[in-house]
Chain A
Amino acid sequence: MKFGKKLATIAIAGAALILGACSNSNSSSSSSDAKIPSKITKKTTIVFWHGMTGVQQSTLKKLTAEFEKANPKVTVKLENQGSYPDLQSKINSTLQSPKNLPTITQAYPGWLYNAAENNLLVDLKPYINNKNVGWGSASASGISSTLLDGAKIKGTQYGIPFNKSIETLTYNKTLLDKYGVKVPKTMAELKTAAETIYKKSKGKVVGAGFDSLSNYYVLGMKNEGVNFTKNINFSGATSKKVINYYADGMKAGYFRIAGSDNYLSGPFANQKVAMFIGTSAGEGFVKQGVGKKFTYGVAARPGKYTMSQGTDIYMFKQASSMQRAAAFKYIKFLTSKKSQLTWANATGYVPVNTSVLNSKAYTDNSDMKTPKILKDATKNMYTLPVTKNANATYSQLSTIMQNILTAAQKKQNVNTQITNGKTKFDAAWKQ
């Protein structure tokens, strides 16, 4: 009996120790806000979590190798965390034990709202203004101020823009020429163009579609002068106008959604849809899919605004001052003119460095069609506001729109789905 008791005591003590150790790690590693070292004096390893695949990943590896060659004291460990949703959930679950967080990560600011609230991120302003590690000032960085503002959380510069994309219109030039349809510039023109193609092809080719239904709604509202906030009345007149534009097209058959294909580049390459609005970073995939079947073209997104999307790089607080300095040097390298030119030309991402945007080496790139239209296409950009639940509601919008639009496709009453959508929309803002 005594033995049993002893054993139980040991077991409980052991469990308590382990649990205690688990919970202790939460609080200890909060601040090492030492001065920014001017040089990397000892061997430093930094960890970079990212969600890049294919040519994006291989280009990132190439750039990193160049950086390590120029900075022999620094080792950058690139850790692929899968797709963006995987990366987001990995960060979310690791926030609980900050010691296991990487030095830097790719992320949308909305993902890190909680991390910022809990003081887990490094304010990068001192690093930007530091002459040794950074540029000396934000303007000297050459990064567009709109993009820098987009990487702020509640007014603090926690992120540096890295892989940015916008929404563009990709069209089947061969088909548009055949039917005598002009490349649409406004949403009204897009509708007429889509209708014409659908009719002239006798219903075989759908006119157009939008990859991201969340973006469709958010930009549709923005074009009507409404920002994305919790004050939006989802079943109000403006909202209904935006929704019905797409729903009418679904009913008549000239618009479609991506559905379980996830992206329209597949159906586009198979000539099932003539035009689609999607991310500029997808041009590589379009090019590969289309091959020599037909000529494709890229144009600015119809309507005034386009979405500025893609991730920034954020730094976590548990890093030592040496790691922080090394990581910032790495970020500076990645956003430099030379790196951004390599990056943009290989991947189709929009260069964050403005001098690249205007350089001939970029605009004369004959492999890609996005560079030529970028200047026009980036005049009016909109970024998702970083407020509580904005990101969650934005994701929820996609499901709400899918429900409304598939109902429209089956010629059911759209209004009941809009009412259902309103409940979900409001619930998402309130959680």
Chain B
Amino acid sequence: MKKNQTKAWLFLAPTVILSTLFLIWPILRAFVMSFQSGSLINLSWTGFSNYKYIFSDPEFWSSMSHTILYAVVTVPIGLAISVMLAWMIFSKVKHKSFWETTFFMPYVTSTIAIGIVFRYIFNGDYGILNFVLKFFHLPTANWLDDPSMSMITVIIFGIWTSLAFNIVILMGALRNIDPNFYTIAEMYGASSNEKFWRITMPQLVPTLAFLLTMDVISAFKVYTSIYALFNGQAGVGNSASVAVFYIYNKFQMVGTPGVAMAATVILFLLILLTTFLQRKLMKKIGEN
């Protein structure tokens, strides 16, 4: 028994050392730095003043609320659409693997490249989206240059990009459902609606829980898609500034790493709390 343990240590050692160095140490360092002020080369203790600063900074609050809004809207809608599409491909469409590949394409393409294409689609003057809307006599919008539209644009783009990964994982989960369930359900005359809600959905819960956690965490860390959509800014007038933008700006541009790290700690706690609540919730759903 004891021998086993020593061997385990040996095998774990690389991971333990690397994760201490590259995962745990940065978190601790960030935590320590959040109580320091000055530039990176000349840090000094300052107590809670960085936290005081971010809590009174309107930019911080707008960045945080944008982040939460993005996570709360993008994740559920993205997941719902993914389930719908995955179910459609799985149950109703021929050439499944072709469609699966098509839907997976965005995932393997660089977000920056997709973002640039979307910048042209969304353009208020000559974008294809407004062209299509006009064609159907629908009201158009200034997707990129109107601050009140920025978050909506980012959310649409976020939902679209989240589909790829979700669908592929869901397809895998759908394939794993025992086909006998459906055969028996058919024998007893279940409708396709009943089959979906009574068999498919309960079987998908563990996968959905996994996707929900992953999607929420990545939604809290959204950065690249905004950077690409708005040409390197966080939208006109910082209207799509999110937590990571705020952190990056304070750290790299303004040169106040302490403030950036204080915001990082808050974001970290927020993600931790959300993930914790989610797990509790999913456990409850799983039990029922």
User: How distant is A121 from chain B, measured CB to nearest CB, in Å?
Assistant: 12
Q: How many angstroms between the C-alpha atoms of A259 and B125 in the bound complex?
A: 12
- Take A18-B21, A403-B237, A420-B58 as given contacts and tell me if A89 and B147 are in contact as well, using a CB distance cutoff of 8 Å: no
Task: List the interface of chain B (C-beta within 8 A of A).
Answer: 2, 5-6, 9-10, 13, 16-17, 20-21, 25, 39-42, 53, 56-59, 119, 125, 144-148, 230-233, 235-239, 248, 250-256, 259
| Contact of B232 with A262 in the complex, beta carbons under 8 Å | yes
At the interface, yes or no: A4 with Cβ under 8 Å from chain B?
yes
A-B contact pairs, 8 of them (CB 8 A): A8-B9, A15-B17, A92-B253, A96-B40, A114-B42, A115-B41, A389-B254, A431-B256
- Contact between B41 and A392, CB atoms less than 8 A apart: no
From 217 to 271 in chain A, residues with beta carbon under 8 angstroms from any chain B beta carbon are 257, 259-262
Kindly list chain A residues whose C-beta atoms are within 8 Å of the C-beta of B250. Answer: 431
Which A380-422 residues have a C-beta within 8 angstroms of B? 389, 392, 395, 399-400, 402-403, 406, 410, 420
Closest to A120 in B: B41
Q: How far is the CA of A430 from the CA of B58 in the complex (A)?
A: 13
Chain A residues with Cβ below 8 Å from B57 are 427
Known: A93-B40, A95-B39. A15 touches B20 (CB 8 A): yes
Report which of A4, A262, A272, A410 forms a contact with B125, defined as CB distance below 8 A: A272
Q: Mark A82-101, 1 if CB is under 8 A from B, else 0.
A: 01010011001101101000
A259 touches B236 (CB 8 A): yes
A117 interface residue, CB < 8 Å from B?
Answer: yes
Known: A118-B39, A259-B144. A7 touches B9 (CB 8 A): yes
| Chain B contacts for A272, CB-based, 8 A | 125
Q: Is the interface of A mostly helix, strand, loop or mixed?
A: helix
Q: A259-B145, A424-B58 are in contact. List 7 more A-B contacts (CB 8 A).
A: A7-B9, A114-B39, A399-B237, A406-B146, A410-B146, A410-B148, A427-B57
Q: How far is A259 from B239 in the complex, measured between Cα atoms in Å? A: 12
| CA distance in complex: A431, B2 (Å) | 55
A388 to chain B, nearest CB (A): 10
Which of B17, B148, B239, B259 interacts with A431 by CB under 8 Å? B259
Whether A260 and B236, one on each chain, are in contact in the complex, defined by CB atoms closer than 8 angstroms, is yes
Smallest CB gap from B123: residue in A: A260
Q: Are B259 and A260 in contact (CB under 8 A)?
A: no
Asked whether, in the complex, the Cβ of A92 is within 8 Å of the Cβ of B255, the reply is yes
Contact of B231 among A114, A118, A260, A402 (CB under 8 A): A260
Q: Are B252 and A92 in contact (CB under 8 A)?
A: yes
Closest to B238 in A: A399
The residue in chain B whose Cβ has the minimal distance to the Cβ of A272 is: B125
Contact residues in A for B40 (Cβ distance below 8 Å): 92-93, 95-96, 114
Nearest CB to that of B8 among chain A residues?
A: A4
User: Is the CB–CB distance between B39 and A15 below 8 Å?
Assistant: no
B2: chain A residues within 8 A (beta carbon): 1
With A259-B144, A410-B146 as contacts: A95 and B232 at CB distance below 8 Å = no
Distance in Å: Cβ of A214 to nearest Cβ of chain B: 13
**Could you tell me the distance between the alpha carbons of A221 and B280 in the complex, rounded to whole angstroms?**
56
Q: Mark A1-30, 1 if CB is under 8 A from B, else 0.
A: 101100110010011001100000010000
Instruction: Find out whether the CB atom of A4 lies under 8 angstroms from the CB atom of B58.
Output: no
Residues of A within 8 A of B53 (CB): 427, 430-431
* Set A18, A392, A399: member contacting B253, Cβ < 8 A: A392
B39 touches A4 (CB 8 A): no
Q: How far is the CA of A410 from the CA of B9 in the complex (A)?
A: 64
Contacts of A115 in B (CB 8 A): 41
Q: A156 at the A/B interface (Cβ < 8 Å)? A: no
Roughly how many angstroms separate A431 CA and B50 CA in the complex, as a whole number?
A: 9
Cβ-defined contact, A406 with B237, below 8 A:
yes
Q: A4, B5: Cβ atoms under 8 Å?
A: yes
Interchain CB contact (< 8 A) of A427 among B56, B235, B237? B56
Return the 5 tightest CB-CB contacts between A and B, nearest first.
A89-B252, A402-B237, A403-B237, A259-B145, A114-B39
Residue pair B21, A15 in contact (C-beta under 8 Å): yes
B51 CB to closest chain A CB (Å) equals: 13
Cross-chain contact B13 with A7 (CB below 8 angstroms) = yes
In the bound complex, residues from chain A placing their C-beta under 8 Å from that of B42 are 114, 117-118
Asked whether any CB of chain B lies closer than 8 Å to the CB of A423, the reply is: yes
Q: List residues of chain B with CB within 8 A of the CB of A406.
A: 145-147, 236-237
Distance between A240 CB and nearest chain B CB, rounded to angstroms = 18
